[in-house]
A and B are shown apart, each in its own frame.
Chain A
Amino acid sequence: MLDNKCPKCGKKLNALYLKQECPNCGANILYYNLDERLKADAEKAQAEVEAFNRFSNLIKTSAIGSPLQIIRLVLFFTPLGSMCLEFFDVNGKTVSLIALIKEIIGGGFGLGSLTENTAYLLSVLVMVFVILFSLAEIIASLFSAGKNGLKRNIAFSAVNLAVLLCVSAAVFVLGGKPGAGWFLTLFIYLVCDFLHFAVNKKINA
């Protein structure tokens, strides 16, 4: 940082004062007590490294500390696969991640196609929420070994599940039907919930 006082006499220095010597006591500002300042730097650097190591060990333990954590981490990404199957059937139209991507590439996807059918709009929103909230759950899971790790994981998981069920319910009310992908995603969420408890038990063992 920009030091603004002499290390020897403490005289306050203007930021634009560039000379090496203090105007008050004549000390070499840059190198005065260099040994002590280097020792202080070394201690500070060591403290930072230790804090970083603690943080990275936390992430490592939470994410890949044992086969159980690794399975959980992989499972978080599987909704991307389950959404490629038929997620909803809305008035005979298949709604899935693959169908959506094909529509975007083909140029048929737009605000018009979304708003013409409320059930279709809500079904696309469900898939967007699944992706976003799964991402949030992944990030939260990286801190499983920290304080309140289990509570945090369960909270994110509960929100994820609640959003999936509530918005899907609206799709069903408007005439949509769940497909194989929807049931698989629900199953994955429930398994992840179970794994949060198992991982917590493993970490605290």
Chain B
Amino acid sequence: MSDEKEIRYVGIKENVAYGLACAGQNFGYNMVAGGYMLLFFTKVFGLPEAAVSFMILVLGIWDTVNDPLMGAVVDKTRTRYGKLRPYLIFVPLPLSIFTILLFAGPVILQDVKTTAVKIVYMYVSYFLWEFFYTIGDIPFWGMSAAISPSPSDRTRAISSARFTTGLIGGLSTTLLVVLMDLSNKGVIGLSLAQVFLLLAVVSATLGMGLFSLAGICTRERVVQSVKEPSVLEGFKLMVKNRPLFMIILSNVLGSLSGIAGVFSTYYYSEVIELNSLTLLISLPGTILGFITYLLIPKLKARFDNRQIIFLNGFCRLAVGALVFLIGFKSFKNYYVVIPLLMLQNLVFSFFNTVNSVIPTEMIGDTVDYMEWKTGERNEGVSFSVLTFVGKLTGSVSTSIGAAILPVIGLSFKTVAGSAETITVKGENTDLYIWALFTLIPHILGLVSLIPYIWYDLTGKKLENIRNDLRLRHEQLSNEMSGGNADA
């Protein structure tokens, strides 16, 4: 085997399949993590904000155990399909069932008046959805490191996944906001509960159908050790992985800036009162984001991954502050906010695209680092960090957002004798929502940069690690290719 960096092992069809699988998976995930879950449980299901906030926090904490545990189980798996693919083949069916059940609550329990029953349903349905989502998500991202020994192949796979997700995976929230507006204005004869259920059914069928491509159309090409690490060893490896720990810490701190997503939803829903405006505003960013994927190789040629992360953080703050100040007096004026937010979205899309590829690739680098250090590859545990932190930050952000709602004077009250809810706001609630959407998250985001000061998998060190691993892989595959299962 010659220089692995130059050789391409993953073809276009496999890359496209991996990308479509990610899009399918995210079609349903975006409805949960795209900032609409809180709105669904409070406004549509009619549950108290405190109960929802607590549930999201509790199950978010459960994920701190569940995700790494699943990662360790994945790392221990050895089958003839690999250690990741069996889960990707099995999980789409149960995940589709529980996606529907998660959003079916308001329809199934429409005649139930007892709040306690609805709260129990919320806990059980969310827990089961989360459980099966984890079983699929960790192996999926682990595949980005196992799909090929070539770093370029991995970058292409991750880029394909992120790009296709941006294009198709986001359709669920696009359709959601349009249908919500049409429902609110009485144009279509569907209630909000029925809108969410309809999209859940689409996600369960079309989305999970696409997600199944990950198990069927991809292959693992990186040699794993024959000896299976124990679950405890898997956890120990995660603790020893210092660069990974820095990434985890940064992402956890980044949950503070995640409230932007929560308050973006409330800004369009309760301040501007036009949910579908987000589609127009995100249009330039979507187009530019597509071009940015093509620029990633050029960016990586000029900066290393750590430098890109720092650049991202500081530029976000500068742009966010500018947008806040310009819109300070006019955040309800369409003629001001539409071009302003479109411009913000245009600039942010560049950094969002890069930010969606680079940290995932960095985790792959930490998997290589641990293999170089200990001889064991642990895609499962390492990428469980990615998924667990993503969900934890999403949960923490949503939970913080829910906790802030009464502080800024925003609440929802059910009209007596009907299923309708009305919005109650304080005097300056709209301004607070504007600040929590544009400025405050990016100030808090600077805190997440601190751990990267100690991240050192760059430059010469990373190059030496890859060279060593290339030689070891050649030796290991020669031993295995003799058909000797005891190598």
Q: List A residues at the B interface (Cβ < 8 Å).
A: 1-3, 8, 13, 17-21, 25-36, 38, 41-42, 44-49, 52
Known: A2-B216, A19-B79. A28 touches B480 (CB 8 A): yes
Indicate if B48 sits at the interface (CB-CB under 8 A).
no
Residue contact B80 to A30, C-beta cutoff 8 Å = yes
| Interface SS majority for chain B | loop
- Most B Cβ at <10 Å: residue of A34, A35, A38, A45: A45
B484 neighbours in A (Cβ, 8 Å):
28
A19 CB, nearest partner CB in chain B, Å: 6
* Distance between A107 CB and nearest chain B CB, rounded to angstroms: 11
Chain A CB within 10 Å — which of B79, B80, B82, B216 has the most? B80
Task: Find out whether the CB atom of A41 lies under 8 angstroms from the CB atom of B81.
Answer: no
State the Cβ distance, B56 to closest chain A Cβ, in Å: 36
Q: Is B7 an interface residue (CB 8 A)?
A: yes
**Interface residues in B213-232 (C-beta closer than 8 Å to A):** 216-217, 219-221, 223, 226
A2–B13 CA distance with the chains assembled, in angstroms: 16
A79 to nearest B CB, angstroms? 23
The answer to whether A42 touches B13, judged by C-beta atoms less than 8 angstroms apart, is no
By the criterion CB–CB under 8 Å, are A31 and B7 in contact?
no
Other 5 A-B pairs with CB < 8 A, given A35-B481, A41-B221: A18-B79, A26-B485, A33-B483, A38-B221, A48-B12
Bound CA–CA A173/B79 (angstroms):
74
| A45-B8 in contact given A1-B216, A18-B86, A19-B79 (Cβ < 8 Å) | yes
Which residues of B line the A interface, CB within 8 A?
A: 1, 7-13, 78-82, 86, 89, 216-217, 219-221, 223, 226, 477-478, 480-481, 483-485, 487
Contact of B480 with A34 in the complex, beta carbons under 8 Å: yes
Q: Which residues of A contact B220 (CB under 8 A)?
A: 30
Could you name 14 residue pairs across A and B whose Cβ atoms are closer than 8 Å? Answer: A2-B216, A18-B81, A19-B79, A21-B485, A28-B487, A30-B82, A32-B481, A35-B477, A36-B481, A38-B9, A41-B10, A42-B8, A42-B9, A44-B11
Whether A20 contacts B483 in the complex (CB less than 8 A), given A45-B10, A46-B8, comes out as no
Q: How far is the CA of A1 from the CA of B89 in the complex (A)?
A: 11
Smallest CB–CB gap between A128 and chain B, Å?
A: 22
Contact of A48 among B11, B80, B226, B487 (CB under 8 A): B11
Who on chain A is nearest to B79 by CB? A18
Contact, CB under 8 Å: B11 / A49: yes
Q: Is the CB of B483 within 8 A of A25?
A: yes
Alpha-carbon distance A172/B89, docked complex (angstroms): 61
In the complex the two chains form, what is the Cα distance from A6 to B392 in whole Å? 42
Q: Is the CB of A45 within 8 A of B86?
A: no
Q: How far is the CA of A46 from the CA of B11 in the complex (A)?
A: 7
Residue on A nearest B223 in the bound complex, by CB: A31
**Smallest CB gap from B477: residue in A:** A34
* Nearest opposing residue in chain B for A52, CB measure: B12
Are the C-beta atoms of A35 and B1 separated by less than 8 Å? yes
Tell me which of A17, A20, A34 contacts B485 (CB under 8 A).
A20
Check if B223 sits within 8 Å of A34, measured CB to CB: yes
Task: Chain A residues near B12: list those with CB within 8 A.
Answer: 45, 48-49, 52
CA distance A26 to B481 in the complex (A): 12
CB-CB under 8 A from A30, the residues of chain B are 79-82, 220
Give the chain A neighbours of B480 by CB distance below 8 A: 28, 31-32, 34
> What is the CB-to-nearest-CB distance from B152 to chain A, in angstroms, rounded to a whole number?
11
Q: Which residues of A contact B78 (CB under 8 A)?
A: 20
Contact between chains at B483 and A32 (CB < 8 Å): yes
Residues from chain A with a CB closer than 8 A to the CB of B226 are: 20, 28
B residues within 8 A CB of A48?
A: 11-13
* B4 (CB) vs chain A CBs: closest residue: A38
A34 close to B481 (CB less than 8 A): yes
Measured between alpha carbons, how far is A29 from B220 in the docked complex, in Å?
12
Q: How far is the CA of A28 from the CA of B82 in the complex (A)?
A: 11
Contacts of A42 in B (CB 8 A): 7-9
By CB atoms of chain B within 10 A, which of A30, A35, A36, A47 has the most? A30
CA distance A52 to B11 in the complex (A): 10
Tell me, in angstroms, the Cα distance from A19 to B216 when the chains sit together.
18
Q: Is the CB of A19 within 8 A of B80?
A: yes
Q: For residue A52, which residues in chain B have a CB less than 8 angstroms away from its CB? A: 12
Q: Which of A19, A25, A26, A38 has the most CB of B within 10 A?
A: A38
Q: For the complex, give the distance between the alpha carbons of A147 and B89 in Å.
A: 41
Q: Known A32-B483, A34-B480; judge A20-B80 contact (CB<8 A).
A: yes
Contacts of A44 in B (CB 8 A): 11
- Which B residues touch A18, using CB under 8 A? 79-81, 86
Q: Are A8 and B11 in contact (CB under 8 A)?
A: no
Pick from A8, A17, A25, A38: contact of B80, CB under 8 Å: A17
User: Which interface residue of A3, A26, A28, A48 has the most chain B CB atoms within 10 A?
Assistant: A28
